[in-house]
Amino acid sequence: MKINFVTVGKIKSPFKEGVDEYVKRLTRFATVSVTELAEASPSKSEAEQIAFEGEEILPKMKGYSVVCDVAGKQIDSVALASLVKEKSNGGESEFTFVIGGSYGISKAVKDRADFLLSFSKMTFPHQLFRVMLSEQVYRAMTILNNMPYHK
């Protein structure tokens, strides 16, 4: 299995250490890649930033793509694990998890997504959300492998 994280912007300490830890743990179950894309210039309008970042994201979406978006479906950790299991059993061997920029995700990226995932109606700091997503993907893998991490 291959797991890709595609994100807009660079992560900084102390959040980098959290993401790195979960990525390291995930390598027990899959090949993992993290792609950090450049943020659009702040001199562009909000719509231009979303469009620019979307064009950068689209070619990186491989396999079954889960895009994080506030308008997506809210599911629990067990349901995320079930989704990965169902798609894996259906022949998917690669998953891409996408986090867009500060203004959100372009319509083109949402249209390409296989699943729109929302963690909450709340807004989270981008850096913290990256830790949360990598932890939830790790949690899903421990659930699928009957490990005691998920309580």
pLDDT tens for 33-74 read: 999 999 999 999 999 999 999 999 999 999 999 999 999 999
For residue 10, name the pLDDT band (cuts at 50, 70, 90): very high
Tokens of 113: 């997504």
For residue 123, name the pLDDT band (cuts at 50, 70, 90): confident
* CA neighbor of 133 nearest in space, from 54, 66, 55: 66
Q: What is the pLDDT of residues 78-115, one digit of tens each?
A: 999 999 999 999 999 999 999 999 899 999 999 999 99
Global confidence as pTM = 0.96
What is the rounded CA–CA span in Å between residue 35 and residue 19? 12
User: How much is the pLDDT for 149?
Assistant: 85
User: How much is the pLDDT for 151?
Assistant: 66
In the chain, which ranges are E strands? Answer: 2-8, 31-37, 64-74, 94-99, 115-118
What domains does the chain contain, in order, with CATH numbers? Answer: 2-144 (3.40.1280.10)
